[in-house]
Structure 1
């Protein structure tokens, strides 16, 4: 998909800026939900199956996720690409903003508080762990 302009923010918003894409990525990143059914039933926001299917296709087409091949009767597993892993700071920045400006449950806010407290080094550590889990990179340092 070609962005409407050459502006990088426009291109990023066109890829990630809909209501559901970042929430799907959040669940893949933090909950390790990598199968359609797990993403559907684990969504606290109640994503509809047709919307989830559409977002997964969009994220794969954009190179954010990869979809493993599945034989007949088997489930396809989704994995983050490097571009998908690099969305982690975006998700963390949104969580950080939400801590200051939006209400929420203490349980769900705790993750973003840990990330805030850990700072950039903690985010880098999380990205290294994602590379191991999703890309098969060597063990995280």
Structure 2
């Protein structure tokens, strides 16, 4: 995961914060606040948003690096949902649950095919 891609993903959040910061600055200027006070408020706002985005980026990057490492160590990659951690975010848990359901159906289908082959083999051997 690259930081630029992460920022593109958060574009709506960044646009909303930029518009809100601009609206607050205009409002404070219309109230007659000093430019330095407005600048400091804007600076604090930007630092808080940047801090949140950086912390979130590093958490997400580490999560996906661990997931990629687990995937690279698997012999049967379709079992990734069985060994991966669900994650802390709602979206991560939902994706994990969807993967588990999908993999469960694949594994059941494999077991059905193995059972039918076993039955066929027993049938052939009985002759």
Same fold (TM over 0.5): no
Q: Which has the higher contact order (CA 8 A, sep 6+)?
A: 1
What's the TM-score once normalised by structure 2's chain length?
0.25
Higher helix proportion (structure 1 or 2): 2
